[in-house]
Amino acid sequence: MMIVSPPPASAPGPLPARTPGGVEGLLDAKILLVDDNPVGRLVLEASLNGAGFTNLRSAADGEQALALTAQWGPELIITDLMMPKMDGFDFCRRLGADPGHREVPIIVQTARGEPGIRGDIFDAGASDLVLKPINPRELVSRVRIHLERRRLITSLIDYKQRIADELDTAKAMQLSLLPTPAQVAALCRQLPIELAGHCQPSFGLGGDIWGLDALPDDRLRLWSADFAGHGVQSAVNTFRLHTFLATGGAPAARPGDWLGEVNEFLCGVLPVGQFATMLCAVVDFKRERLTLASAAAPPPILSDGEHYEALNIAGLPLGVARNAEYETLFLPFARGATLFAYSDALTETPNPEEPVLPLAALVSHLQACRNETLGEIQAGLIARLTAAMPGGLADDLTLIALHHVGGAP
């Protein structure tokens, strides 16, 4: 058998250093050529070499191509359709079933141009096809398009991963602002309390934050804030608030005055249109008294150990109007009493019009679960919300339960 050298390819001209799609360095792309005919491989090599592509490898059938793909990791594959051992159809299907390489574009070369075969080729997982005899300019143009697209997709995937990694870091930083289990345990040893807290951002970063402050004379301040919106903007606001409180801001003991000082700070730092709702509660264990103030927070629920009641207390959101005043409510908080605070995700999931736990149903649910532990109650509430929105909550969720176990501090 005499092998005839392929005719010289018409030179399509080298690719520019920067392609119109904005992707640089296409000429170093790894391209795998699959054809059982040596002449066919020479034609492909000559066409691509003429355009400046030199990082090429070849395989004689689909089995060799799969092995070389796993070993070398090509960015684009050009394959013949009719081959021994494993034809182009099976090769495309096998590659499409491989999670590590299913995104590699495959250009099929074939002499069959009927509409039916075209559909079969694309159904098998090919990205494109070129008809034999090969037109070098058309081949190079299609290679260029698919490489640009592939590298753009790879770049976007890498960018998305970097953003995800950075958001994970930011989320960890934000969660570090919350009371740690060790801090909660220390307060539970110091004061006659049991406490359970849960904070769950809806989109990686959220606008919810809560905290605990041990005050003189065996008192404890519990607060919870919910900034409007989601994501980075609302998360930045939680850092602003935490920094203000951690550096000596809002020293007032009475909850209404305390919220007033927080409001003055937020009015000075929040952009127009942003605001926060907030609840502040101070428990005086010597007097067995609870003082409360709210800045448009969802109604807290108070139990004396037997009966549960939503407290009617209101106030302007924080960051809306300077010099706003907030009412302080005085209530008994004896042994066996429990305070439940939460963000509006609890009573507005899956949507505010048809929530799974409207306020009245929430009070009834807590009443029915009064013999359960705080952790069991929270787990049950979270389970009901998750069942209503299995794909994830649409809003940040915060749950805090504080129980007075009695005894001297």
Looking at residue 116, its pLDDT comes to: 82
Averaged pLDDT, 363-367: 94
Q: For tokens 């924080």, what's the residue? A: 318
Angle at 140 between CA 134 and CA 142, to 5 degrees: 95
User: pLDDT-derived band of residue 408, with 50, 70 and 90 as boundaries?
Assistant: low
Looking at residue 16, its pLDDT comes to: 41
> Which contacts qualify for 321-326: CB closer than 8 Å, 24 or more apart?
321/263, 321/267, 322/263, 322/264, 322/267, 323/264, 324/260, 324/263, 324/295, 325/256, 325/260, 326/255, 326/256, 326/257, 326/259, 326/260, 326/263, 326/293, 326/294, 326/295
Tell me whether the omega of the peptide bond preceding residue 133 falls within 30 degrees of 0, making it cis: yes
Task: Report the predicted TM-score, pTM, of the whole model to 2 decimal places.
Answer: 0.71
Residue-wise pLDDT tens digits, 100-134 = 898 999 999 988 877 788 889 999 999 999 999 99
User: pLDDT-derived band of residue 407, with 50, 70 and 90 as boundaries?
Assistant: low
Tell me whether the omega of the peptide bond preceding residue 201 falls within 30 degrees of 0, making it cis: no
Q: Is the pLDDT of residue 368 over 90?
A: yes
Looking at residue 21, its pLDDT comes to: 40
Mean pLDDT of the chain: 89
Domains of the chain: 26-168 (3.40.50.2300), 178-404 (3.60.40.10)
Residue 159: Cβ-neighbour burial (10 angstroms; 0-12, 13-18, 19+)? exposed
Looking at residue 23, its pLDDT comes to: 36
Residue-wise pLDDT tens digits, 278-317 = 999 999 999 999 999 999 999 999 999 889 999 999 899 9
Paired tokens of 172: 């960890």
Q: Strand 397-404: give its sheet, edge to edge.
A: 193-200, 397-404, 338-342, 301-303, 308-310
Q: Is the pLDDT of residue 233 over 90?
A: no
Averaged pLDDT, 370-388: 93
Looking at residue 24, its pLDDT comes to: 46
Averaged pLDDT, 12-26: 48
Paired tokens of 151: 């590298």
User: pLDDT-derived band of residue 168, with 50, 70 and 90 as boundaries?
Assistant: confident
User: pLDDT-derived band of residue 409, with 50, 70 and 90 as boundaries?
Assistant: low
**Whole-angstrom distance, CA of residue 355 vs CA of residue 349:** 5
Averaged pLDDT, 313-326: 94
Looking at residue 270, its pLDDT comes to: 94
- φ and ψ at 64, to 5 degrees? -60, -40
User: What percentage of residues in the chain have a pLDDT greater than 90?
Assistant: 74
Q: Is the pLDDT of residue 7 over 80?
A: no
Q: Is the pLDDT of residue 259 over 80?
A: yes
Residue-wise pLDDT tens digits, 52-96 = 999 999 999 999 999 999 999 999 999 999 998 899 999 999 999
